[in-house]
Amino acid sequence: THKFWETQPVGQFKDIGDTSLPEGPIEAATPLSEVKQEPYNLPAAYEWATCDMKSDYVCSEVYNLLKNNYVEDDENMFRFNYSKEFLSWALRPPGYYQSWHIGVRAKVSKKLVAFISGVPARIRARDDVVKMAEINFLCVHKKLRSKRLAPVMIKEVTRRVHLENIWQAAYTAGVVLPTPVATCQYWHRTLNPKKLIDVGFSRLGARMTMSRTIKLYKLPDVPATPGFRKMEPCDVPAVTRLLRNYLSQFIVATDFDENDVEHWLLPREDVVDSYLVESPETHDLTDFCSFYTLPSTILGNPNYSTLKAAYSYYNVATKTTFLQLMNDALIVAKQKGFDVFNALDVMHNESFLKELKFGPGDGQLHYYLYNYRLRSALKPSELGLVLL
């Protein structure tokens, strides 16, 4: 049972399969004057702190909280280690609200002990484009777990989102909550087999030697597609058109405009990489691929401290095949020193995962909407949305 989630406007397990329920908002918006004006109460030793992510000091505090307390795999071998530059980028997109970057501090020491964040986004569900909050980086210090702090933080971020007259949200989690819009599988493409095996990220396959494994995952040194190059600022309008047209086919998808593309997809060193194919004849932009950088700390390994992972972001193929385009993405990721390239089975990713030697991981990612009902769960391939 879910004592907290049962009280929230989200799809409930008991309603699964009830096709009489309408699609769209579960609760109507209320007048802003009816939104609670004061923050929710925290246990007496703690206080709310709005985090200024423009401050290098505050950004470091959030970074350190997450570095030591954020998401781990099911065997506690790896923990996400989002960089400061990544957090600053992820939390300050066009139109962001500082009030949605919410910390909890110990009153006496002022130490940051918990965090939750939202950023604004337009997300389309069927033909309905909805202003939403994307909620991410919910984290409670390991020593403060299981004290029901998370529900208070979720209610507080909800209140602050409502104060901006926004009534829906999207979020992803590795755990099952009421109730997933879609359940996606993580896939992994080995780039550095020796290291992945040494740190326990993967195992030597049955009847495989290390040298056969290294050969299996070998990649060319340079991309194969003529006209394949890094995205530049002047490409923003054409990439936006390519992406909007591509994403229009999915049931739930991000609604990117040029400002969003400039922020989310222009290359930033060690944060996000984007490449495109410019036709050598017509100079049209025909294909696009991108990935973001999210290292993980390797817990308790004497030889290695970090796993360098690239995560597939948004990809569009119109002329090149997805197979060739993503093979080129693997080639540039390998050249940049990534150990592994990860992807979800969203959008058209299934069309290249097996052939490019990705293997299914032991993790799943569940997608959720807050205060928005869909008649039934979606297939991963019906999702055109990637959260960081």
User: Per the structure block, which two tokens stand in for 243?
Assistant: 């992406």
Q: How far is the CB of 262 from ligand EN5 (least distance, A)?
A: 22
Q: How far is the CB of 73 from ligand EN5 (least distance, A)?
A: 4
x/- map, 67-106, ligand NHW, by CB under 6 A: --xxx-----------------------------------
First to last CA, the chain: 28
Using CB under 6 A, which of 154, 196, 294, 344 touches ligand NHW?
A: 154
Which of ligand EN5, ligand NHW, none interacts with 361 (beta carbon under 5 to 8 A by kind)? ligand EN5
Alpha helices (runs of H) in the chain, residue ranges in sequence order:
56-69, 84-91, 149-162, 193-198, 210-216, 236-247, 258-265, 322-335, 350-353
Residue 157 touches ligand NHW, criterion: CB under 6 A: yes
CA angle 29, 30, 33 (to 5 degrees): 145
User: Per the structure block, which two tokens stand in for 321?
Assistant: 């095949």
* DSSP helix/strand/coil, 47: strand
Using CB under 6 A, which of 69, 117, 158, 172 touches ligand EN5?
A: 172
Which one, 172 or 293, has the nearer CB to ligand NHW? 172
Bridge partners, 102 (sequence order):
50, 116
x/- map, 294-333, ligand EN5, by CB under 6 A: ----------------------------------------
The torsion angle over the Cα atoms of residues 307, 334, 331 and 236, rounded to 10 degrees, is 70
Using CB under 6 A, which of 28, 175, 206, 234 touches ligand NHW?
A: 175
Q: Which of residues 24-53 bind ligand EN5 (CB under 6 A)?
A: none
C-alpha torsion sign, points 228, 229, 231, 233: negative
Using CB under 6 A, which of 4, 73, 163, 251 touches ligand EN5?
A: 73
The torsion angle over the Cα atoms of residues 324, 326, 328 and 329, rounded to 10 degrees, is 170
Q: How far is the CB of 106 from ligand EN5 (least distance, A)?
A: 25
Q: How many CB atoms lie within 10 A of CB 213?
A: 19
Find the part of the chain contacting ligand NHW (CB under 6 A) among 2-10, 225-233, 240-248, 305-313: 2-10
- Choosing from 112, 138, 383, 388, the catalytic residue is 388
Which one, 96 or 217, has the nearer CB to ligand NHW? 96
In angstroms, rounded to a whole number, what is the distance separating the alpha carbons of residues 345 and 386? 11
Written as one letter, the residue type at 163 is L
**Count of residues that interact with ligand EN5, criterion CB under 6 A:** 21
Which one, 69 or 342, has the nearer CB to ligand NHW? 69
φ/ψ of residue 199, rounded to 5 = -95, 0
Written as one letter, the residue type at 187 is W
Q: Which of residues 108-147 bind ligand NHW (CB under 6 A)?
A: 133, 135-140, 145-147
Residue for token digits 């602050």? 160
Report which of 149, 138, 187 is spatially closest to residue 370, judged by C-alpha positions: 138
In angstroms, rounded to a whole number, what is the distance separating the alpha carbons of residues 229 and 213? 30
Which of ligand EN5, ligand NHW, none interacts with 138 (beta carbon under 5 to 8 A by kind)? ligand NHW
On whether the CB atoms of residues 174 and 139 are closer than 8 A, the answer is: no
In angstroms, rounded to a whole number, what is the distance separating the alpha carbons of residues 182 and 184? 6
x/- map, 334-373, ligand EN5, by CB under 6 A: -------------------------x-xxx-x--------
Which one, 73 or 164, has the nearer CB to ligand EN5? 73
149 is catalytic: no
On whether the CB atoms of residues 346 and 385 are closer than 8 A, the answer is: yes
DSSP single-letter state for residue 18 = -
Using CB under 6 A, which of 88, 190, 274, 324 touches ligand EN5?
A: 190
Q: How far is the CB of 137 from ligand NHW (least distance, A)?
A: 5
Q: Which residues are catalytically annotated?
A: 388
- List interacting residues with ligand EN5 (CB under 6 A): 71, 73-75, 77, 136, 172-174, 186, 188, 190, 201-202, 359, 361-363, 365, 387-388
- List interacting residues with ligand NHW (CB under 6 A): 2-5, 69-71, 133, 135-140, 145-151, 154, 157-158, 161, 167-169, 171-173, 175, 177, 370-371
